[in-house]
């Protein structure tokens, strides 16, 4: 099956999704920077932000966004999720923390919709589920 890559740039914010047969790697960069990587785990219906593979695992803002992305992807796939994100998004982007998280999730959603396979899976979920996870 190989792999599939989708990339979307939204100003300094960039989202890249690389999908393999057994895992999905999501990179959310700000001004080209990535500094934190998480392995997001699924246990039944709960999504857990598991191991911090790179950087400081105590950064709660990045853990929250990793959890939200994990919940979103749990609707789409049973694949292992690796998420790399820039902590610069919280320091450099304009707006409240909620606005920033909304912009990041919206960029991720737009990137997912560029991927035909993920888009088809996304469209199969109920509108209520999609609206709950993506503002």
Q: What is the pLDDT of residues 36-94, one digit of tens each?
A: 888 887 665 444 555 555 565 566 788 888 888 887 777 777 788 888 888 888 888 88
| Cβ neighbours for 97, distance < 8 A, ≥ 6 positions apart | 61, 90
Task: Label residues 52-73 b or e (16+ Cβ within 10 Å = b).
Answer: beebeeebebbbebbbbbbbbb
Structurally, at CATH architecture level, domain 4-133 sits in 2-Layer Sandwich (3.30)
pTM of the model: 0.72
How big is the chain, counted in residues?
135
**Domain spans in the chain, listed from the N-terminal domain onward:** 4-133
């Amino acid at each position: 099956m190989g792999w599939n890559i989708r990339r979307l740039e939204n100003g300094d914010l960039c989202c890249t999704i690389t999908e393999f047969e057994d895992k999905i790697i999501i990179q959310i960069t700000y001004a080209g920077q990535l500094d934190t990587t998480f392995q997001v785990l699924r246990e039944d219906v709960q999504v857990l932000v598991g191991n911090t593979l790179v950087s400081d695992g105590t950064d709660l803002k990045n853990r929250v966004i990793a959890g939200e992305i994990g919940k979103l992807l749990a609707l789409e796939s049973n694949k292992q999720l690796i998420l790399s994100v820039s902590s610069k998004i919280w320091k450099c982007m304009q707006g409240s923390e909620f606005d920033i998280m909304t912009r990041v999730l919206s960029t991720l959603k737009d990137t997912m919709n560029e991927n035909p396979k993920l888009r088809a899976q996304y469209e199969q979920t109920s509108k209520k589920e999609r609206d709950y996870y993506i503002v």
